[in-house]
Structure 1
């Protein structure tokens, strides 16, 4: 029996704000042995640490409903294009994912990738949101590149539609934060879900990357849920 690759928390109000989290889940189907230890399933290669907790709080306490992935990004990366070479990763941050070598790509796409994105498309069409928050988190240091500096507290990513992100960047900086402008990587290179469900539909969005150590605890998740909700609401008002 396959897993449902998503869950939804809260009910959107038409024209409101919604949240999408492609890497919030850790579930691995019983018939997909990844070939890695359980310790790695708790790390950034398998899940965006802290995102589920932030998203839950934003949905339940700040009235920003959420569409959350339940499946681990190591099973299939929902934040890649369907034909992307790393859709099913065989390596992540220097760790071999042996169980993905020779994986049945078509089966995983049919069972997990398409149902996730089909459900998201229907949810967004029904909600007709004023603003989408796409929430991710990033590790302060990559094991495969330990000399790389990742000093940002938070990053805002964008491709063609930069206006919401630039407004949010100014707001986060006003909080005294080190804010990445298309960092720790560029939304012009990796922006698959928002390219598909936001930019292609003319919808405004904030693609937010929070550094994982800020949201690894319940206290941090509560703080950032309130901060992101406040900034998202202010950006939405400025876009009207």
Structure 2
């Protein structure tokens, strides 16, 4: 037993002396390097500290999409699709709609958010910016029964931008009229994407209170774009 303890103790001492010798050699080599070389090593080390976890996370995310989908990877019938302005300004045709219907088959998409604006800075919505809106709502309702077609309206907001002033009552009245306008065109809801909205904006909250009775009275939806809150950035 004593011999075994001695061997372990001697081995530990040799390991410690070897590690100390390597540390001294590294310090000596470091002192001999130029300032430029030291700066390069520090920069590369810092870059590696950032890239390794980011790269690992990216690789892990990529691997989630490799192989056969898991049983949990299925639609719950509450998915949505965002569609650009081309669907209401005349650039899309019946053939494009037929292709869209084919693509949506079996996907579980329940809502289509169609960019119908943008709003003017005074809150109005010129009919000239969406001349084919009624064509799209009627055609989509026929081809996609059960799918809600919602009007996506937005603009930049004061004071960060020289644009929509939600603190102005007349502007809010015109935005409300724009909401009625798109509902008259056959949309099933109004979706506002105003940005940037300051927390606790009185004008923004007043607008929502003003538009809600309009959508509720038509049996339509009222929704807003809001920042996504993630557990990690």
TM exceeding 0.5: no
Higher RCO, Cα 8 Å, sep 6+? 1
Q: Higher helix fraction: Structure 1 or Structure 2? A: 2
The alignment's TM-score, normalised by the length of structure 2, stands at 0.29
The alignment's TM-score, normalised by the length of structure 1, stands at 0.28
